[in-house]
Each structure stands twice: as structure tokens, then as C-alpha cells.
A and B are shown apart, each in its own frame.
Chain A
């Protein structure tokens, strides 16, 4: 992974010292809350319902062993012993005290972590494929380009006060694991006919109260021109994006009002003005960054591990885990392992300190010290020898992290919701738990297959409900928690926005309704169809009738 150099380290130390000073002035009464709030938000510190919440940036979802151990230590020392992984590959601590925040930033800086640009109207952490560098599907390693964007966008003077926040995703495989089409900019790596590397550039995707799927404004941007082109896009947005209405300030609104074609034309016009020699990354610098992502330590192994095959045949639990959580690696004899943070009684995305320490230990022993975070609130150990899978599985079982449910009905995205969040209208976590409880039968869950349920506690859509195969949105109906179901969304390469099923349901009705939706799917599906495919083929009506049958 990329290693910070001396300048990066000095910068983080300075930033942490600066924040310590700012907190001191606030506590001494020298700064008012109005003066201080933007400063704490620039360091990822929010005030939520019960306490401060610190959002720590995990650059494109990549962590090393020392970093995970440090997160575990912070959770244990300053929080209530757990952290919450977010839908943007970051981690949040929900019980932070303002007076401790400077010490926490120091502790993070020691392992090259920080909370910069995890809030505010700036360019946020770049989303990337948690399987980067491990999957044979990728055209190039998207971390290289995510790191280029990280360095370019960190404290970028021109883009620190945008009309609204700005999120970029980089994907490099046909299978999109980054939700690129619902980002402000989605970058999909492509190979040109001549073999050169480039990006398909999609802009104006997003969720929130006005969801849009991103539209392609450039089919093939030569990869070497990435930064100048991003600068042009951001410049057009910064100039023309609305600042008078927070709900209309994201780039998606600008792209929608201008039309993608006109927006693209303005970007081209701006791009033509930019001095490429100044704006684009020199080849030498790109080569330096690229070198940081060459994975050392992969051995030449037989394609199949006999010991693993034998263990899998002898142990049905391992076999189930292998079916659902283990994927092919680009190197023979290796595997990519998804670690679910969605045990049926767990809070989606939460990991406690002991689990984090265990993950660090297991990654050190079995995954070349590499840990990834997915936007679906799970973890990935990307470089595991097949022969180590039985031991890894046992290690995960020991700390409650071997739930074999990746992409299944209980692998639910849920935002913290009203249990923690100051913006939420309804709880999300208990709804996720009630659905997981209803689908405890692992055989049935596997029979149902891929089914992405995503729950948001308010229209801001941190829980990605718009792109859930089944989306669940918590609403406040005369002060009571109600849930609006949507069907047919997808955040993957076949992206779409879900459509509303019908009238809102109360909390107790949600899990039974999901069950009925699943029953319709199982009755109607043809061949290898996923829930989403069946919905797209047969439409809303049969699902709607099943859920609202009692209402007639």
C-alpha cells in the first residue's frame, strides 16, 4: 500500500497540533460554537444525539495491520469499544469526547490516518474496489488512481469550498463494487483499442432526496489526462453549481438542469484552457505511486490446495463460508475473503475492538497484512492462500466474524439512523436486525441468493436505500417511525434507482413484508435470475399485491 513520506507525516502532525489549539480555544471560551463548528467539521468531528462522532478517513478503504490495531485501541480507549464502518469505506466512532479528540488525532497520525475531508463541502475520500490488486477482473489497479486523486484533492485550495460535498469513485472491473454510478464522478478504467489506459467518466450520480444515475460525459479519457479533466469538471461545477439552496447544490442538479451533453461541452471548453503540463501528473510521479502498490510476497502456488479441498469437504460450515465469502484471486492458489460485519444480532458495520485486533492478527498471518473496507460495510482480506483458509475460518469463527452471508438477504447496509444520528427520522439498525432474524435459516438465504437490502434512516440516503434491490427509507409520519419500501434499485454496473412499492409500513411490518417479497420472487423466478432480475422482468404489481394483500 501507499506509504506516507516525511512531508505527509509532518503535515498530519501539524494539522493535529492546529486542531488541539482550536479545541483549547473553544473550551476556554475564546471561540464561539459558530466559529468552532466549521473547524471541528474539517476534522471529521460531528455532534450527534448522544456524543461527538469522529469520522476517520480510510483512503479508498485500504488499511494495514498497524492501522487496524490503532483503530481497535482508539475504540477501547476513547469510545465504548467498537467502531462503525460506513458506506463510504470510512470508520466512525460514536462516543467521542471533544476534549479527547486532539489526542485521538495524534494517535491516528502516528499510523498515517486522519479525519481530514471526512466532512464539509470538499472532495471526500475516493471510493474504490475493495478487491483492488487481488482480482483478475481489473484492467488496472484502481488504488493507483485513487491515490493520485487523494494527493491532488487533499487541501486543494480551489476545491475546498465547493457548493456541496463531492464524492469520486474509481472502478476497474466489469463488476462494479464501488457504486460508481451514484457518485458525483464515477471513473471506470477502460482499455482503448490501441491498448492504452483510459477512463469512462460519469458525472452527476447521487442519492439523497433527488437521486440520479450518473451520465457518461466522456467515453474514453486518456488516463494521463485525469487530473486536468477532473479540474475542468470541478471548475465548471464550482462556478455554476447552486449555492442558494442546499438541496440543489450537488453536481447532479447542475448536470440534470444543463443536460449531460451541455455539461460535457462546458467541461471540454474549460479543459481546453487548462495547461496540461501544469495540471496533469508527470509520468515519473505516476510511476512512483504505482510502485507503492506492487504486491510483494505472493508465492507461486498450485491452482488448487488439496488440504483446503479436503477441509471443505469435511466441514459443511467451511463449505458454506467458501460458497458465500471466498472469491477467486488473480494469483493461483490464493483467494479473496470477505469478512461479514452482518451477524444476525449485530449492528451492520460495527466491529468491536477485540474483533478489530483479531482481524489485524489474521491479516498479518494470512493476508500479507492487507485489510480492505467495503462500501457495503464489510471487510476484505484480499490475499489469502487457499491452504490457509481453514485456519483463517477458525480464527474468524472465534471472534464472531465468519457469518457466511455476503450479498445475501441478511448482508444489509444500514446507516446508524435515529439511534445515533442527529439528522435521522427513524431507526435503521433494529429494522436490519429484524430482517436478519427472519432469515436466520442459512439454507433458505442461500436459496434466495443475491439480494441487496439497504436501509436509510432519512432521505439523505447514507444507507443507499435508493439503490437497494429492496430499499427501505425511514420516515417521520406525524412523529412516528414509518418505512417506505422501494424495489429495483442497484448501485452496481447495472445501476438504477428503486421505485416506491406502496404506502409506508410500521417497523413491525417491514420484515414480514420483505418475506412476502422474497416469496413472490421465489415463485416467479426463472433460471438463474436474481431478485432484481425477476423484478425487472415481471414489474412491481405482483410484489405490491403480496405486501398489501391485507389492505384490500
Chain B
């Protein structure tokens, strides 16, 4: 079984700490605007660029993304939480924006480890 290669690049913005996603050469706030990589080479190239942006972001890593009827969402529950905000305060974090894209993320189910983050923790 060969799963579809589908990844996004995430990090935290240095000066604020906000979760950000890579989108064609810039960092955006919302997962819905994230660039989706379907091949490894461009994904790794983006990681390399992110790592060179030491003054802009920290802890850049790739996350697995999945497609469903609702749309695209991070595979791992932890990454969906990062893309949305805490579940105890729905007015805090990116979910406060509301709208269809946020609703799609909130509706996404299933959970898996964030492999990118595990690698990050291991590196530390």
C-alpha cells in the first residue's frame, strides 16, 4: 500500500510564537492557506529555506496531511490542535476566525502521532 505523499510545512514565528504554515515562499497564519506538497523534493527544499530563516521562524517541520470529504486536514490530532487552538477556549487561537475552513478542521477525525514533531523532539 502506498499512501499519497501529502505534506505541509509548519513552524512557529520567532517574534510572536504563533503557529505558521508555508505557502509558496511566505508564512501564513491559517492552515487552509498552506501549500500542500505532493512530492518529497520540493517539500524538503522548503524545509531547507525555512531553516535558513532563523530570524523569522523556529522549529520548522513537515506534517502529514490527509484529504477527506470535508477537505484537507493534518493527520495528527496534535497538528490539528496547533492549526485550531485549545479545545477549552474556542475563542482563542486560529479557530476564533471561524468559517468553513476552520469548521472542516474541527470536523476532521482520526488521530495519529505527529511524526514531524516527534523528529523535532528527538533532535532536541
Interface, chain A (partner B; CB < 8 A): 26-29, 32-33, 47-52, 80, 95-99, 347, 418-420, 427, 429-430, 433, 476, 478-481
Contacts and interface: CB of A to CB of B under 8 A. Distances in A.
B55 interface: yes
A419 B82 CA distance: 9
B112 interface: yes
Interface of B: 12, 14-19, 54-55, 58-59, 76-78, 81-82, 85-89, 92-93, 111-113
A433 B88 CA distance: 9
Contacts of A47: 12, 17, 58-59
Contact of A50 (B55, B59, B82): B82
A480 B109 CA distance: 10
Nearest to A45: B17
Contacts of B85: 50
Nearest to B91: A80
Given A50-B93, A96-B17, A99-B15, 10 more contacts: A49-B82, A50-B92, A80-B92, A98-B16, A347-B88, A429-B86, A433-B88, A478-B113, A481-B77, A481-B111
B19 A99 contact: no
A418 B15 CA distance: 23
Contacts of B19: 49-50
Nearest to B56: A29
A105 to B, nearest CB: 16
Contacts of A429: 86-88
A149 B44 CA distance: 50
Contacts of A479: 76-77, 111-113
Contacts of B87: 419, 427, 429-430
A26 B77 CA distance: 31
Given A27-B14, A50-B17, A480 B77 contact: yes
Contacts of A33: 14, 54, 58-59
A49 B81 CA distance: 8
B54 A27 contact: no
Nearest to B113: A479
B15 A28 contact: no
Given A429-B88, A433-B88, A28 B16 contact: no
A215 B121 CA distance: 33
Given A80-B92, A95-B92, A478-B112, A50 B15 contact: no
21 contacts: A26-B14, A27-B15, A29-B54, A33-B54, A47-B12, A49-B19, A49-B81, A50-B86, A51-B18, A95-B92, A97-B17, A98-B17, A99-B16, A419-B81, A419-B86, A419-B87, A419-B88, A420-B86, A430-B87, A476-B113, A480-B111
A418 B77 CA distance: 9
Nearest to B120: A422
A70 B9 CA distance: 38
A423 B108 CA distance: 23
A227 B85 CA distance: 45
A27 B81 contact: no
A96 B15 CA distance: 10
A50 B29 CA distance: 11
A97 B16 contact: yes
B38 to A, nearest CB: 23
Nearest to B59: A47
Given A33-B54, A476-B113, A418 B14 contact: no
Nearest to A477: B111
